[in-house]
Amino acid sequence: VAMIEKLSIPSYMINRFKISSNPFTNRYDNGYYQIFNGIVALVKGGMFGVGYGKGFIKYSYLPESENDAILAVVIEELGMIGFLIILILYGIMIYQLIKYAFLVKSEKDKMILIGTLSYIMIHFVFNIGGITAFIPLTGVPLLFISAGGSSRMAIMMAIGLSQNVISRHRMSERRANRIWES
């Protein structure tokens, strides 16, 4: 943090690094409040959570609980089991994107798949890192789960393009197999 303070960056950015380095110093201050309550929600959820819809932290304790801090709410209500389900679903998506990125021949198609993969991974890492205070909270939504129109629309378009690439690849594979068999 001392090294970052020497850089010529705005003070609100420096405060984000200070908050993530120790979110427990002043839990009632503006920036510390969200990260502290997010960590409380993670701890309160435990392994199995308090029950779907029974979480308390989302009611005015976490600002933007349906957007930036949705993961904290999910873990409080569904526990680490709910987080594991989300992690597995993200893992399946990422695996499929990587697999087809290696299989397709066209560079344009590879760029679409790798771009979608990067988009999903960056949002996932930044959201989880921000909620757990491993990196400064940036306000990046958790794709497919957070409320928000523009990010949801953008990821749906990216997934649609990726699905188009995968579908065209599968069709060309089937066509090649039919030709090979005859």
Q: Report pLDDT digits (tens) over 87-107.
A: 999 999 999 999 999 999 999
Task: Reduce the DSSP state of residue 149 to 3 states and report it.
Answer: helix
- Please check whether residue 52 is in contact with residue 33, taking contact to mean a CB–CB distance below 8 angstroms: no
Residues of the chain with pLDDT under 50: none
pLDDT number for residue 182: 64
Place of tokens 């690849």: 169
pLDDT number for residue 29: 66
Phi, psi at residue 145, to the nearest 5°? -120, -45
Q: d(Cα 124, Cα 137) in Å, to the nearest integer?
A: 13
Beta-carbon-side half-sphere exposure of residue 38 (alpha carbons within 13 Å): 28
